[in-house]
Structure 1
Amino acid sequence: MTVEKVDFKKTQKEFYQAKTSPTIIDVPEMPFIMVNGKGDPNTSATYKQALDLLYALSYTIKMSPKQNDAPDGYFDYVVAPLEGLWWLPNDASPFSGHLDKDQFNWTAMIRQPDFVTVAVFEHFREIVQEKKPTLDVSLARLEMLSEGLCGQIMHIGSYDDEPATIKTLDDFIVASGHRVDISATRRHHEIYLSDPRRVAPEKLKTVIRHPIQ
Structure 2
Amino acid sequence: MSIDFKKTEKELYTPPKKPTIINVPKMQFIAVRGKGDPNDPNGEYSQCLEALYGIAYTLKMSYMSDYQMEGYYKYVVPPLEGLWWQTGIKGFDYTRKDLFEYISMIRLPDFIKEEDVAWAIKTASEKKGKDFSRVEFFVYDEGMCVQCMHIGPYDDEPKTIAKMEAYMKEQGYELDINDMRHHHEIYLGDPRKAKPENLRTVVRHPIKKV
Instruction: Say whether residues 1:200 and 2:195 are aligned partners.
Output: yes
Deviation at 1:68, TM superposition (A): 3.8
Structure 2: distance between partners of 1:48 and 1:125: 18
- Contact 2:94–2:155 under 8 Å retained in 1: no
1:155 is the counterpart of 2:150:
yes
Offset of residue 98 of structure 1: 5.4
SS at match of 1:179: strand
Query: Is the 1:31–1:112 Cα contact (8 Å) retained in structure 2?
Result: yes
TM-score (norm 1): 0.94
Measure, in 2, the Cα distance between the counterparts of 1:18 and 1:193.
12
Match of 2:163 in 1: 168
- CA RMSD in angstroms, aligned pairs only: 1.2
In structure 1, the partner of 2:24 is 27
Determine if contact 1:24/1:149 at 8 Å carries over to the other structure.
yes
Distance 1:55 1:98 in 2: 27
Taking the TM superposition and a 5 Å limit, the aligned residue runs for 1:51-70 are 51-70=49-68
Deviation at 1:115, TM superposition (A): 1.2
Partner of 1:139: 134
Q: Which residue of 1 aligns with 2:84?
A: 86
The unaligned stretches of length 5 or more in structure 1 are: none
Structure 2 gaps of 5+ residues are: none
Deviation at 1:159, TM superposition (A): 0.7
Distance in 2 (alpha carbons) for counterparts of 1:92 and 1:40 = 18
How far apart are residue 140 of structure 1 and its match? 1.1
Q: Secondary structure at the match of 1:25?
A: strand
Q: Distance in 1 between matches of 2:200 and 2:137?
A: 26
How far apart are residue 91 of structure 1 and its match? Answer: 5.8
Give, in angstroms, the shift of residue 99 of structure 1. 3.2
Contact map agreement 1:178 1:212 (CA 8 A) in 2: yes
Match for 1:146: what amino acid? D
Q: Report SS of the residue matched to 1:41.
A: coil
TM-fit CA distance, 1:211: 0.2
Matches within 5 A, 1:3-18: 4-18=1-15
Cα deviation digits, residues 96-142 of structure 1 (max 9, x gap): x55310000011000001111011111111001112223x3221110
